[in-house]
């Protein structure tokens, strides 16, 4: 996430790789997407100008050169407000797709807990599987938010639905221990703070 302390400006990465083999191009694309870079015109990629992003693009440039291609990293310290807004919107569109998919999966998680609860499947096996599903969702959200440099309402919406999932799991956990007639259940994922549910603390809003 970009903060007020983050230097202004953009970094642009330009590269060209041989058409064969295709694996370096696939690796390059995956690393760019994982880092949260947004694609612009003619195969150029952009990230906010930070030291970490500059180092990342330099590493990609070295990889491209090792694979017989050419690459350039350009710093753009200033651009027009219209250009800045257009770039920010590209970032937000990229993250919106991820958030929408994530929230669909969370809704499916809630529906599954409801289904198992109505069916009375209050077993430790179901609880363990559900806890693992929630842990995966939390890690997924952490990755999305790590590359969400310009958060909008979807950030808080995603955080809120994870909280709903945690609450649903807590209720399901209580029902399981009651059904199994076990007192004082050990601390489960449902009781953990957000920082322990994934690789990165989930912001509160």
The rounded percent of the chain whose pLDDT value lies above 70 is: 85
pLDDT tens digits, one per residue of 125-164: 999 999 999 999 999 999 999 999 999 999 999 999 999 9
pLDDT by residue (tens digit) across 191-201? 444 444 443 33
Half-sphere exposure of 6 (CA within 13 A, CB side): 17
pLDDT of residue 8: 76
Cis upstream peptide for 8 (omega within 30°): no
* Cα angle: 103, vertex 105, 110; to 5 degrees: 95
How far apart (Å, rounded) are the C-alpha atoms in residues 19 and 7? Answer: 36
Q: Going edge to edge, which strands form the sheet with 70-76?
A: 38-39, 45-48, 10-16, 70-76
CA gyration radius, the chain: 21
Q: What is the pTM of this model?
A: 0.82
* Residues 43/103, Cβ–Cβ less than 8 Å: no
């Amino acid at each position: 996430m970009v903060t007020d302390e983050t230097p202004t400006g953009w970094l642009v990465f330009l590269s060209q790789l041989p058409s064969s083999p295709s694996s370096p191009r696939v690796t390059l694309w995956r690393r760019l997407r994982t880092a949260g870079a947004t694609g612009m015109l003619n195969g150029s990629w952009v990230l906010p100008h930070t030291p970490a992003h500059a180092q990342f693009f330099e590493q990609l440039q070295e990889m491209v050169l090792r694979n017989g291609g050419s690459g350039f990293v350009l710093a753009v310290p200033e651009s027009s407000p219209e250009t800045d807004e257009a770039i920010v919107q590209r970032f937000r569109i990229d993250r919106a797709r991820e958030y929408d998919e994530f929230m669909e999966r969370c809704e499916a998680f809630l529906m599954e807990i409801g289904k198992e609860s109505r069916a009375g499947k209050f077993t430790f096996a179901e609880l363990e599987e559900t806890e693992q599903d929630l842990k995966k969702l939390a890690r997924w959200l952490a990755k999305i938010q790590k590359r969400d440099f310009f958060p909008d309402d979807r950030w808080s919406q995603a955080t809120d639905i994870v909280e709903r999932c945690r609450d649903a799991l807590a209720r399901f956990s209580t029902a399981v221990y009651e059904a199994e007639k076990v007192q004082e259940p050990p601390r489960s994922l449902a009781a953990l703070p957000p920082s322990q549910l994934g690789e990165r603390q989930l912001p509160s809003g």
